[in-house]
């Protein structure tokens, strides 16, 4: 690799190829001096693609606050204790293209594997679906993590390792949508960007984050996507409720309150210390001020 010249030379089947990196010069300069670990080469449609993995040290800072992320099909909602922010996703667009590809497969159950025109169309739709999910995930992750880094916040994510197991037994339509949901893809992008910017990451238990009142802890009642609490009168959107509960769960874990479980970090060598100020939401809930903690 000659990053100062923006080129990579590879040998494939006794033949040398020179690949020119298409990234901006200032982006390539960020990797100068880093040790590269692996190089992946892909050949597709008579073109060569290269992916380079570098080694870097992840040194998360001590956060001043928390930014919770609730992922949904149409929007990604973040909450930092005082501000709700929504980010539109393109997952619905990806869902429609995958639905079109599967519709063609059902319409031509025997022909689509052997008909070049139909097969190319199906492959193009699936390829477009993957590209939309990848591009939107990395763009959203960059925007969210950059904002958290600016305010020196930690990123709070739900533990979705067993998402696929949780949808077993549901009808095929729901399982198909959740499979495409790209939770893992977006979650992976957020964690990767967090490592790049040394942003701390906390993983919390996702159970009941959309069904528990963030103000009093009672069970919520829903009318479509609008939640309201019969006990304290809280009213909020489903995504807002989820983001607030994710944030509260991280604060409770650092405060050591009963009933709150803090999961292990996705990075094995991560050590974090937390501290925070009591904000308006904490005052409303009469919860104690979180004390610094480490995990």
DSSP assignment of the chain: -BTTTTEEEEESSS-EEEEE--S-HHHHGGGTTPEEEEEEEEEETTEEEEEEEEE----PPPPSEEEEEEE-SSEEEEE-SS-EEEEE-SHHHHHHHHHHHHHHHHHSTTTTTT-HHHHHHHHHHHHHHHHHHHHHHHHHHHHHHHHHHHTTEEEEEE--TTHHHHTTTS-HHHHHHHHHT-HHHHHHHHHHHHHHTT--EEEE--TTTTTB-TTT-PBPEEETTEEE-TTT--EEEHHHHHHHHHHHHHHHHHHT-TT--BPPPSSTT---EE-----HHHHHHTPPPPPPEE-
Decide if pLDDT at 284 tops 50.
no
CB neighbours of residue 268 within 10 Å: 6
Give the pLDDT confidence score for residue 272 in this predicted structure: 33
Interatomic CA distance for residues 68 and 63, integer angstroms: 13
At which residue do the structure tokens 């095929």 appear? 172
287 Cβ contact partners less than 8 Å away, ≥ 6 residues apart: 248, 251, 252, 255, 257
Q: What is the pLDDT of residues 21-78, one digit of tens each?
A: 888 888 888 888 888 888 888 887 788 788 888 888 889 999 999 999 998 878 899 9
What are the tokens at 17?
A: 């190829």
Confidence class of residue 262 from pLDDT cuts 50, 70 and 90?
A: very low
Confidence class of residue 200 from pLDDT cuts 50, 70 and 90?
A: very high
The more confidently predicted of residues 180 and 268 is 180
Mean pLDDT of the chain: 79
93 near 54, Cβ under 8 Å? Answer: no
Range from 94-98, 119-123, 147-151, 213-217 carrying the lowest mean pLDDT? 94-98
129 Cβ contact partners less than 8 Å away, ≥ 6 residues apart: 94, 97, 98, 101, 180
Interatomic CA distance for residues 151 and 239, integer angstroms: 22
Range from 1-15, 70-84, 175-189, 225-239 carrying the lowest mean pLDDT? 175-189
CA 118 → CA 111, 182, 241, 287, distances in Å?
8, 26, 44, 60
Give the pLDDT confidence score for residue 17 in this predicted structure: 85
Decide if pLDDT at 277 tops 50.
no
- Rounded to 5 degrees, φ, ψ at 81 are 105, -25
Interatomic CA distance for residues 252 and 248, integer angstroms: 6
Decide if pLDDT at 86 tops 80.
yes
The topology (CATH level 3) of 65-89+137-294 is Nucleotidyltransferase; domain 5 (3.30.420)
The domain limits of the chain are 7-55, 65-89+137-294
Give the pLDDT confidence score for residue 73 in this predicted structure: 78
Give the pLDDT confidence score for residue 11 in this predicted structure: 84
């Amino acid at each position: 690799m000659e990053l100062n010249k923006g080129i990579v030379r590879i040998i494939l089947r006794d033949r040398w190829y020179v690949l020119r990196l298409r990234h901006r010069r200032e982006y390539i300069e960020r990797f100068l001096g880093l040790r590269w670990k692996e190089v992946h080469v892909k050949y597709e449609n008579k073109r060569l693609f290269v992916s380079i993995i570098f080694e870097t040290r992840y040194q998360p800072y001590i956060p001043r606050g928390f930014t919770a992320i609730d992922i949904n099909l149409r929007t990604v909602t973040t909450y930092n204790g005082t501000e709700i922010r929504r980010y539109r996703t393109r997952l619905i667009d990806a869902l429609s293209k995958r639905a079109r590809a599967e519709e063609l497969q059902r319409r031509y159950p025997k022909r689509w594997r052997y008909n070049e025109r139909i097969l190319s169309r199906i492959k193009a739709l699936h390829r477009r679906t993957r590209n939309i999910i990848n591009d939107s995930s990395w763009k959203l992750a960059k925007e969210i993590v950059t904002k958290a880094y600016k305010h020196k916040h930690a990123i709070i994510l739900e533990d979705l390792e067993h998402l696929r197991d949780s949808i077993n037994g549901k009808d095929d339509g729901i399982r198909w949508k959740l499979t495409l949901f790209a939770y893992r893809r977006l979650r992976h992008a957020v964690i990767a960007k967090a490592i790049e910017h040394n942003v701390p990451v906390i993983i919390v238990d996702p159970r009941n984050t959309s069904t528990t009142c963030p103000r009093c802890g009672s069970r919520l009642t829903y009318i479509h996507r609008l939640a309201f609490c019969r006990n304290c009168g809280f009213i909020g959107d489903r995504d807002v409720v989820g983001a607030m509960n994710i944030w509260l769960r991280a604060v409770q874990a650092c405060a050591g309150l009963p009933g709150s479980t803090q999961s292990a970090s996705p990075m094995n060598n991560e050590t974090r210390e937390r501290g925070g100020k009591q904000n308006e939401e904490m005052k409303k809930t009469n919860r104690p001020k979180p004390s610094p903690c480490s995990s």
